[in-house]
Amino acid sequence: DTAVSQTPKYLVTQMGNDKSIKCEQNLGHDTMYWYKQDSKKFLKIMFSYNNKELIINETVPNRFSPKSPDKAHLNLHINSLELGDSAVYFCASSRQLNYGYTFGSGTRLTVV
Amino acid sequence: AQRVTQPEKLLSVFKGAPVELKCNYSYSGSPELFWYVQYSRQRLQLLLRHISRESIKGFTADLNKGETSFHLKKPFAQEEDSAMYYCALKTSGSRLTFGEGTQLTVNP
Protein backbone atom coordinates (compact mmCIF):
# COMPACT_ATOMS: atom_id res chain seq x y z
CA ASP A 1 0.00 0.00 0.00
CA THR A 2 2.84 2.36 -0.91
CA ALA A 3 1.61 5.95 -0.88
CA VAL A 4 3.82 7.37 -3.63
CA SER A 5 5.44 4.83 -5.91
CA GLN A 6 7.99 5.44 -8.62
CA THR A 7 9.23 3.11 -11.30
CA PRO A 8 11.85 2.18 -12.07
CA LYS A 9 13.98 2.41 -8.94
CA TYR A 10 17.18 2.30 -10.96
CA LEU A 11 17.75 3.28 -14.56
CA VAL A 12 21.04 2.99 -16.41
CA THR A 13 21.02 4.16 -19.99
CA GLN A 14 23.24 5.51 -22.71
CA MET A 15 23.59 9.10 -23.79
CA GLY A 16 21.10 10.12 -26.43
CA ASN A 17 18.39 7.69 -25.35
CA ASP A 18 14.84 8.66 -24.39
CA LYS A 19 13.46 7.35 -21.11
CA SER A 20 10.43 7.75 -18.87
CA ILE A 21 9.96 7.59 -15.12
CA LYS A 22 6.49 6.89 -13.76
CA CYS A 23 4.92 8.09 -10.54
CA GLU A 24 1.64 7.18 -8.93
CA GLN A 25 0.08 8.24 -5.64
CA ASN A 26 -2.86 6.64 -3.88
CA LEU A 27 -3.33 9.32 -1.25
CA GLY A 28 -5.98 11.30 -3.08
CA HIS A 29 -3.67 14.32 -3.15
CA ASP A 30 -4.31 17.10 -5.63
CA THR A 31 -0.75 18.18 -6.32
CA MET A 32 2.25 16.23 -7.57
CA TYR A 33 5.86 17.24 -8.05
CA TRP A 34 9.16 16.20 -9.56
CA TYR A 35 12.37 17.06 -7.76
CA LYS A 36 15.94 16.43 -8.83
CA GLN A 37 18.61 15.55 -6.27
CA ASP A 38 22.07 16.06 -7.68
CA SER A 39 25.36 14.46 -6.69
CA LYS A 40 25.79 17.04 -3.93
CA LYS A 41 22.40 16.03 -2.50
CA PHE A 42 20.87 19.38 -3.43
CA LEU A 43 17.11 19.15 -4.05
CA LYS A 44 15.55 21.33 -6.69
CA ILE A 45 11.98 21.43 -7.89
CA MET A 46 11.42 20.75 -11.56
CA PHE A 47 7.66 20.60 -12.09
CA SER A 48 4.41 20.66 -10.22
CA TYR A 49 0.92 19.67 -11.35
CA ASN A 50 -2.33 20.45 -9.61
CA ASN A 51 -5.33 18.44 -10.79
CA LYS A 52 -3.54 17.65 -14.06
CA GLU A 53 -2.64 21.29 -14.65
CA LEU A 54 0.98 22.45 -14.78
CA ILE A 55 1.53 25.08 -12.09
CA ILE A 56 5.29 25.09 -11.62
CA ASN A 57 7.76 24.76 -14.44
CA GLU A 58 11.25 25.60 -13.32
CA THR A 59 14.11 26.30 -15.65
CA VAL A 60 14.79 22.82 -16.92
CA PRO A 61 15.81 21.84 -20.45
CA ASN A 62 13.00 21.24 -22.93
CA ARG A 63 14.18 17.65 -23.11
CA PHE A 64 12.27 17.11 -19.86
CA SER A 65 8.53 16.86 -20.30
CA PRO A 66 6.07 15.96 -17.55
CA LYS A 67 2.75 14.32 -18.30
CA SER A 68 -0.18 13.95 -15.95
CA PRO A 69 -2.91 11.69 -17.37
CA ASP A 70 -4.91 12.05 -14.14
CA LYS A 71 -4.32 13.55 -10.74
CA ALA A 72 -2.93 10.31 -9.35
CA HIS A 73 -0.15 10.06 -11.94
CA LEU A 74 2.72 12.28 -12.95
CA ASN A 75 5.25 10.86 -15.36
CA LEU A 76 8.53 12.37 -16.46
CA HIS A 77 9.84 11.84 -19.95
CA ILE A 78 13.39 12.74 -20.85
CA ASN A 79 14.63 13.00 -24.42
CA SER A 80 18.21 12.81 -25.65
CA LEU A 81 19.68 11.99 -22.27
CA GLU A 82 22.95 13.65 -21.30
CA LEU A 83 25.60 12.76 -18.74
CA GLY A 84 24.53 15.70 -16.58
CA ASP A 85 21.05 14.25 -16.22
CA SER A 86 22.46 11.60 -13.89
CA ALA A 87 20.77 12.18 -10.54
CA VAL A 88 18.09 10.85 -8.26
CA TYR A 89 14.62 12.00 -9.28
CA PHE A 90 11.97 12.18 -6.59
CA CYS A 91 8.27 12.33 -7.12
CA ALA A 92 6.12 13.79 -4.35
CA SER A 93 2.51 14.67 -3.68
CA SER A 94 0.61 16.93 -1.31
CA ARG A 95 -2.87 18.13 -0.49
CA GLN A 96 -3.72 21.59 -1.69
CA LEU A 97 -3.64 22.91 1.82
CA ASN A 98 -0.90 20.55 2.74
CA TYR A 99 0.97 19.67 5.85
CA GLY A 100 3.95 18.63 3.80
CA TYR A 101 4.91 16.41 0.94
CA THR A 102 4.92 12.65 0.73
CA PHE A 103 7.88 11.52 -1.32
CA GLY A 104 8.45 8.50 -3.47
CA SER A 105 11.54 6.38 -2.96
CA GLY A 106 13.36 7.98 -5.87
CA THR A 107 14.66 6.86 -9.24
CA ARG A 108 18.43 6.75 -9.56
CA LEU A 109 19.20 7.64 -13.16
CA THR A 110 22.70 6.98 -14.46
CA VAL A 111 23.58 8.10 -17.96
CA VAL A 112 26.70 6.49 -19.41
CA ALA B 1 12.72 35.75 -3.39
CA GLN B 2 12.45 32.87 -0.98
CA ARG B 3 15.60 31.21 0.21
CA VAL B 4 16.58 28.59 2.78
CA THR B 5 20.09 28.44 4.17
CA GLN B 6 21.61 25.58 6.08
CA PRO B 7 25.10 26.81 6.90
CA GLU B 8 26.57 23.44 7.86
CA LYS B 9 26.94 20.83 5.15
CA LEU B 10 28.41 18.36 7.62
CA LEU B 11 27.85 18.01 11.34
CA SER B 12 29.42 15.37 13.52
CA VAL B 13 28.59 14.73 17.18
CA PHE B 14 29.03 11.93 19.68
CA LYS B 15 26.21 9.76 20.88
CA GLY B 16 24.44 11.37 23.82
CA ALA B 17 25.58 14.87 22.94
CA PRO B 18 23.12 17.64 22.10
CA VAL B 19 22.72 18.48 18.44
CA GLU B 20 21.46 21.57 16.68
CA LEU B 21 21.02 21.81 12.92
CA LYS B 22 20.73 25.39 11.80
CA CYS B 23 18.24 26.74 9.30
CA ASN B 24 17.62 30.33 8.27
CA TYR B 25 15.11 31.52 5.72
CA SER B 26 14.18 34.61 3.80
CA TYR B 27 10.61 35.11 2.64
CA SER B 28 8.42 38.17 2.48
CA GLY B 29 5.19 36.30 3.25
CA SER B 30 4.07 34.22 6.19
CA PRO B 31 6.42 31.22 6.29
CA GLU B 32 5.53 27.59 6.67
CA LEU B 33 8.60 25.61 7.60
CA PHE B 34 9.41 21.94 7.65
CA TRP B 35 12.26 19.58 8.43
CA TYR B 36 12.72 16.52 6.27
CA VAL B 37 15.08 13.62 6.92
CA GLN B 38 16.67 11.26 4.42
CA TYR B 39 18.30 8.12 5.77
CA SER B 40 20.94 6.50 3.62
CA ARG B 41 19.52 5.83 0.13
CA GLN B 42 15.92 6.16 1.31
CA ARG B 43 13.12 8.51 0.51
CA LEU B 44 12.72 11.86 2.18
CA GLN B 45 10.41 11.73 5.15
CA LEU B 46 8.67 14.58 6.86
CA LEU B 47 10.15 14.99 10.33
CA LEU B 48 8.59 18.17 11.67
CA ARG B 49 6.40 21.05 10.63
CA HIS B 50 6.39 24.29 12.55
CA ILE B 51 2.59 24.53 12.57
CA SER B 52 2.17 21.45 14.72
CA ARG B 53 4.89 22.31 17.27
CA GLU B 54 5.41 18.60 17.83
CA SER B 55 8.38 16.54 18.91
CA ILE B 56 9.30 13.63 16.69
CA LYS B 57 12.04 11.13 17.61
CA GLY B 58 13.14 13.60 20.27
CA PHE B 59 13.64 16.42 17.77
CA THR B 60 12.06 19.83 18.17
CA ALA B 61 12.19 23.00 16.12
CA ASP B 62 10.91 26.45 16.97
CA LEU B 63 10.15 29.12 14.43
CA ASN B 64 11.84 32.38 15.38
CA LYS B 65 10.45 35.06 13.09
CA GLY B 66 12.71 37.73 14.53
CA GLU B 67 15.82 35.80 13.61
CA THR B 68 14.14 34.12 10.59
CA SER B 69 15.34 30.78 11.87
CA PHE B 70 13.94 27.29 12.33
CA HIS B 71 16.75 25.35 13.97
CA LEU B 72 16.34 21.64 14.64
CA LYS B 73 17.41 20.42 18.07
CA LYS B 74 17.76 17.21 19.99
CA PRO B 75 19.16 17.03 23.51
CA PHE B 76 20.74 13.58 23.23
CA ALA B 77 21.76 12.36 19.78
CA GLN B 78 21.53 8.67 18.90
CA GLU B 79 23.48 6.76 16.25
CA GLU B 80 20.29 6.10 14.32
CA ASP B 81 19.86 9.86 13.89
CA SER B 82 22.68 9.83 11.35
CA ALA B 83 21.09 11.06 8.13
CA MET B 84 20.71 13.99 5.79
CA TYR B 85 18.44 16.70 7.13
CA TYR B 86 16.72 19.26 4.95
CA CYS B 87 15.00 22.41 6.07
CA ALA B 88 12.21 23.48 3.71
CA LEU B 89 10.08 26.56 3.22
CA LYS B 90 6.62 26.38 1.68
CA THR B 91 5.67 29.31 -0.47
CA SER B 92 3.15 30.07 -3.18
CA GLY B 93 1.66 27.27 -5.26
CA SER B 94 2.57 24.74 -2.59
CA ARG B 95 6.18 24.98 -3.72
CA LEU B 96 8.72 23.65 -1.22
CA THR B 97 12.11 25.30 -1.38
CA PHE B 98 14.77 23.17 0.25
CA GLY B 99 18.00 24.15 1.90
CA GLU B 100 21.16 22.43 0.78
CA GLY B 101 20.95 19.90 3.55
CA THR B 102 23.09 18.99 6.55
CA GLN B 103 24.64 15.56 6.79
CA LEU B 104 24.53 14.57 10.45
CA THR B 105 26.83 11.85 11.71
CA VAL B 106 26.43 10.57 15.24
CA ASN B 107 29.54 8.74 16.36
CA PRO B 108 29.46 5.96 18.99
Q: Report d(CA A35, CA A27) in Å as an integer.
A: 19
Identify which of B34, B86, B103 has the shortest CB distance to residue A43.
B86
**Which is more confident, A14 or A99?**
A14
Model pLDDT, residue A11: 97
Q: For a pLDDT cut of 90, what percent of chain A falls above it?
A: 68
Cβ distance B96 to A45 less than 8 Å, yes or no, reads yes
Identify which of B52, B93, B96 has the shortest CB distance to residue A101.
B96
Give me the mean pLDDT over the A100-107 stretch.
Answer: 91
Q: Count how many pairs of residues, chain A against chain B, have C-beta atoms within 8 Å.
A: 54
DSSP B49-89: ETTTT--BTTBEE--BTTTTB--EEESS--GGG-EEEEEEE
Distance of CA B70 to the CA centre of its chain: 7
Q: Report d(CA A100, CA A93) in Å as an integer.
A: 9
Model pLDDT, residue B80: 96
Burial of A65-81, coded b for 16+ CB within 10 Å and e otherwise, reads ebebeebbbbbbebeeb
Give me the mean pLDDT over the A27-55 stretch.
Answer: 89
Model pLDDT, residue A75: 96
Band (pLDDT 50/70/90 cuts) for residue A99 is: low
Q: Report d(CA A32, CA A28) in Å as an integer.
A: 11
Cβ distance B93 to A48 less than 8 Å, yes or no, reads yes
Identify which of A41, A98, A105 has the shortest CB distance to residue B84.
A41
Identify which of A33, A55, A106 has the shortest CB distance to residue B43.
A106
Span A63-97, pLDDT tens digits? 999 999 998 999 999 999 999 999 999 999 988 65
Mean pLDDT of chain A: 90
Res A12 pLDDT > 60: yes
Nearest C-alpha in B relative to A89? B43
Band (pLDDT 50/70/90 cuts) for residue B93 is: low
Would an 8 Å CB–CB cutoff place B13 in contact with chain A? no
Side-chain-facing half-sphere of A42: CA atoms under 13 Å: 8
Give how far B91 is from chain A: nearest CA, Å: 11
Cβ distance A99 to B100 less than 8 Å, yes or no, reads no
Res A3 pLDDT > 60: yes
Model pLDDT, residue A1: 62
Span B38-90, pLDDT tens digits? 998 888 999 998 877 778 899 999 899 899 999 999 999 999 999 999 999 98
Model pLDDT, residue A96: 66
Q: Which residues pair with A78 in a beta bridge?
A: A19, A64
Q: Report d(CA B42, CA B62) in Å as an integer.
A: 26
